[in-house]
Amino acid sequence: MEIKRLYDLREDADQSQQAIADYLNMHRSVYRRYENGERETPAWVVDKLADYYHVSTDYLLGRTDEPTPPPKSK
């Protein structure tokens, strides 16, 4: 599954692929494959990136155009 918003969110945040890969504790080449749709993006990466960019996972996955995540349950 290609997540088309990964590139746009990273660019909007003025981050490099290396910076995001470091945040995810992985090699840049692995992250690049996620961003380019060459490799399936695991759920834990989607979840962590949604938190990083302060968007919902549905927004990240392209299921909605509303980026605001729902409130966290306690």
How far is Cα 32 from Cα 36, in angstroms, rounded to an integer? 6
> Residue 19: which domain range?
5-60
pLDDT in tens, 9-53: 999 999 999 999 999 999 999 999 999 989 999 999 999 999 999
CATH of the domain at 27: 1.10.260.40
How far is Cα 25 from Cα 74, in angstroms, rounded to an integer? 27
Determine, yes or no, domain membership for 36: yes
How far is Cα 14 from Cα 32, in angstroms, rounded to an integer? 16
How far is Cα 53 from Cα 50, in angstroms, rounded to an integer? 5
Give the chain's domain count: 1
pTM of the model: 0.85
For the residues of 16-38, what is the DSSP string, one character each? -HHHHHHHHTS-HHHHHHHHTTS
